[in-house]
Structure 1
Amino acid sequence: MSEQHQLLSTRQAAKLLGVSVRTIQLWVEQGLLSAWKTPGGHRRIVQESLLGLLHKRQRLQPLTYVLCVDFDADFFKLLQALCQQWHFPVELQQARNTVDALLLMGERKPQLAIMGAVQQEVDLPLLLQELTKHQVKLALLSAEQPQLAIEIIWLQLPFDALQFKAELQKLLFARLQQAS
């Protein structure tokens, strides 16, 4: 993610959080939000700190629901630990296989489904078509970039936590902008 996309003006931050520009300025002065000033004296808010503040304010209500399909328990715990470390307002749920994933999706629609690219019993183009129809993004964990006609998020193997963080940040800010 470029530096330009990681920063927000005080006005943008205020709109996303539903508060006044002065409140954002005060939160910066109090150290609740990380920011710096441009040579012209304008504050630029670090998106990651805004997500952390949002996480603290919404403790019980995650902004994004992520369904992890067919991962071992250790990898799922790693993803949970990373989201907690980054203070992202995300709820992760684990599905043992694609059938469990479909049942869980029937109960609660995720904004993102993450799975390994090698799924023997899954017709991936059909799955992508259905997920797209229901506005669920798909992230595939794979050593090689999948050649698919439909847009997906490709998470490289070996797993790169910073790439996952950047993709999750994009998703969170898209959700935040939808809500405001």
Structure 2
Amino acid sequence: MKEDVCTSRKAAELLGVTPRTIQLWADAGILDSWKTPGGHRRFYLSAVQALSAEILNGHRQPAAEENRAGPHVVESSAKVPVTPVKILVVDDDKTLLRLYELTISSWGLPVELTLANDGYQGLIEVGRCNPDLLILDLQMPNIDGFAVIAALQQQKLLNQMCLMIISGLEADELAEHPPLPKDCTLIQKPIPFLRIREQVEAILLSR
């Protein structure tokens, strides 16, 4: 019996995301797909259901478990309601992810913080939380930071967020890869938490 298939729109409905997010996940290889002779993308229903289960299971994990957290809300001390800044941090170093969580949580700013420990999970979280600020490491196994950027550029999603790249790569090492987006912020490690806080405050002031 032929396996059930679905369209991009149907897959988006089943996963609770936008069709553009489905295209992003398909382009990045997160969700297997193929194109019909007419150029329409199709997905196996079983693959969509498997990804849905993976997302749900990942979302239920606490931050301490593999440092892959769902949204972490930092309440504002201000009395006037403020729309939280959505921050997504993608880094394969579990110790650094914990440091991000502890430091950003201590600021007392209205923030929704999501952590992802590899590029694969990072792209899933981009589609789920639509971050205002993406903090990205470049050197990661499987889907690295360069591949994440390429996928976001292909779907024209980078213009919807601020991109801050924090990497240990030197200039000569960066030159061996595709050029980074001109409007991103590239900073060498260690993590510049003051710069990150300034960026968050700038986003809050712009609202």
Task: Give the match for residue 139 of structure 2.
Answer: 118
Structure 2: runs of 5 or more not aligned: 1-74
Aligned residue for 2:187, secondary structure, equals strand
Letter in 2 for 1:113: L
Q: Is the 8 A contact 2:91 2:97 kept in 1?
A: no
Rounded Cα–Cα distance in structure 1 between residues aligned with 2:193 and 2:101: 12
Per the alignment, residue 200 of structure 2 pairs with: 168
Mapped contact 1:69–1:98 kept (Cα < 8 A): yes
Structure 1: state its 5+ residue gaps: 1-53
Partner of 1:156: 188
Please give the secondary structure, in 2, of the residue aligned with 1:117. coil
Aligned length: 121
- Out of 78, 86, 92, which is 2:107 matched to? 86
| Aligned residue in 2 for 1:132 | 158
Deviations 1:48-103 (A, max 9, x none): xxxxxx81247997611111113433222222222222211111111122221222
Partners of 1:58 and 1:89 within 8 A in 2: no
CA 1:75/1:119 → structure 2, altered by over 3 Å: closer, same or farther? closer
Paired position in structure 2 for 1:104:
125
Q: Secondary structure at the match of 2:120?
A: helix
Letter in 1 for 2:150: L
* Partner of residue 17, structure 2: none
- Name the CA distance, whole Å, in 2 between partners of 1:86 and 1:92: 12
Per the TM alignment, residue 112 of structure 1 is displaced from its structure 2 partner at its CA by: 1.3
Larger % of helix: which?
Answer: 1
Give the SS at the match of 1:56.
Answer: coil
* In structure 2, distance between residues paired with 1:56 and 1:160: 24
CA RMSD after TM alignment: 3.0
Seq. identity, %: 23
TM-score, normalization: structure 1?
0.54
Q: Give the CA deviation at 1:128.
A: 5.1
CA–CA distance in structure 2, aligned partners of residues 123 and 79 of structure 1: 22
Q: TM-score, normalised by structure 2?
A: 0.48
